[in-house]
């Protein structure tokens, strides 16, 4: 006789947390001095993200995705994310 459980072993209720998904992006400033990131994944306009630059001098910056557009770079689909700095958070 099999003694497998028929009841659920766990249950998730009213959970609040943070999901961190780390992505490598290329960041530069465009002609209008806005931050632009080139990513392999699309961003969601309005999404708040933390930008960690490759230097130890720069502290992580909170930015908001203003726009996400697909672009083709070297024959590969990428996403151009226009970012704005978030102040006061």
Per-residue pLDDT tens listing for the chain (89 residues)? 566 666 667 677 777 877 777 888 999 888 887 899 999 999 999 999 988 877 767 778 899 999 999 999 999 999 999 999 888 65
Pairing of strands 48-51, 61-73: antiparallel
pTM of the entire structure? 0.70
Residue 67 belongs to some domain of the structure: yes
Angle (CA) 76-81-84 rounded to 5° is 165
- Domain span at residue 31 reads 26-85
Residue 74 belongs to some domain of the structure: yes
Alpha-carbon gap, residue 34 to 30, rounded angstroms = 6
How many domains are there within the chain? Answer: 1
| Phi, psi angles (nearest 5°) of residue 9 | -90, -20
Residue 37 belongs to some domain of the structure: yes
The pLDDT of residue 4: 66
């Amino acid at each position: 006789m099999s003694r497998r459980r028929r009841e659920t072993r766990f249950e998730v209720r009213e959970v609040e947390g943070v999901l961190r998904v780390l992505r490598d992006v290329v960041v530069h400033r465009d002609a209008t001095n806005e931050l632009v990131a080139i990513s392999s994944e699309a961003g969601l306009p309005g999404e708040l993200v933390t930008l960690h630059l490759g230097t130890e001098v720069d502290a992580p910056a909170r930015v908001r995705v203003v726009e996400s557009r697909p672009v083709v770079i070297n024959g590969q689909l990428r996403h151009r994310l226009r970012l704005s700095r978030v102040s006061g958070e």
